[in-house]
Amino acid sequence: MSLYTGSSNASFSSISSIRTRTSSASSDVPERMSDCHFYRNLWWDKGEFNKKAKWEEEVTLPYVLAKGITIEDYEERVEKFNIHGCWEWLNGEVIIYELPSMPHEVGIGAITSDIIESLIPVKRTDAEIYSCGATRTRDSTRGKEADASFRPKKPAVTAPDGSDRDNRPWPNLVVEVAYTETMEHVEEALKYWLSPGRAHDCIIVKIDPVPSGQVPVRMRAWHYCIDDRRTRNNIPHRTEFEFGTQDGAGTGQNITPGQRIINISLDCLYHDFKQPDPPAQPIQPRNLLPDPIPLDFYYVQRAIREMFNF
């Protein structure tokens, strides 16, 4: 998978075509589906993810949950209902790209905890790296939350280029985990996060979905860094690997600790780091942290597998 950041119109063309098919098909939905639509609307109206909506059985993602919505109304409901990583706002529509699932949440948790544990030596110092979680961001047409994000203290940016369309800095490291989410939307997420002036590094994880109750077997990871940008619109992945128990051909894998590593350099993690003003002594994170910081995906796979063994 490679990142190509084209024009905004090209970026959203595939999503637009899906919306068109979804809208035209909705008029042909038989009467028996009316209850399902009622229960689906509850997620937007009340924040209730109801099984009677038959999300997994009958819904194809991406799914348009609501139309004619302002970005302010979208952000208010995301905060009120604590909906992060599932909904996005695009040109007045609230679109579902990911459904809540245990592999998705456990994957995020395993990666996030590994990063946080690696950064303990700088905790409560001026060089602390803060976990921003799923802090919402926006640009002129889109509202999006990462699954996880991190940055040190950074100076304000020039409005409206901030992550809040004002002057708030963007995260330096973003993590996105996809389970029910399609690879097409993963590409869109990369274009969003790695557009010039936004995030510095992005980790993408794709866990292939399996029937309910089964343990996922295929898991892939990519690491992108803007230092590798070849042109304004082209960033190749720095790292790519399979870390599940099977690869794409169905061949079994038995990985061990240390075999599937993503390395995050301190230059990337501390990009635009703001030193204390006035600094009593310049902060040197390299005196406290390894460079690079290794993230071992054997333990991400193990966490996902163990959550199914009870």
pLDDT digits (tens, 9 = 90+) for 19-35: 333 333 344 444 444 58
Q: What pTM was estimated for this model as a whole?
A: 0.84
**pLDDT per position as a tens digit, 236-268:** 999 999 999 999 999 999 999 999 999 999 999
Query: DSSP assignment of 192-229, as one string?
Result: HHTSTTS-SEEEEEEE---STTSPP--EEEEEEEGGG-
Tell me how far CA of residue 34 lies from CA of 30, 55, 90, in angstroms: 8, 14, 26
Q: Mean pLDDT across the stretch 168-173?
A: 97
DSSP bridge partners of 231:
234
Distance CA 234, CA 259 (A): 28
Residue spans of the domains in the chain: they are 3-96, 102-306
Q: Catalogue the E-assigned strands of 25-184.
A: 63-66, 87-90, 93-96, 130-131, 136-138, 142-145, 148-151, 173-178
- Within its chain, how far is the Cα of 146 from the centroid? 4
Higher pLDDT, 16 or 287: 287
Q: Report which secondary-structure segment, H or E, holds 88.
A: strand 87-90
Residue 94 has pLDDT above 60, yes or no: yes
Residue 204 has pLDDT above 80, yes or no: yes
Distance CA 137, CA 207 (A): 24
Give percent above pLDDT 90 in the chain.
72
Q: Catalogue the E-assigned strands of 124-164.
A: 130-131, 136-138, 142-145, 148-151
Residue 46 has pLDDT above 70, yes or no: yes
In terms of Cα–Cα distance, which of 137, 132, 141 is closest to 75?
137
Angle among Cα 205, 208, 212 to the nearest 5 degrees reads: 125
Tokens 């409005």, residue located: 159
The whole-chain average pLDDT of the chain stands at 87
Distance CA 122, CA 288 (A): 7
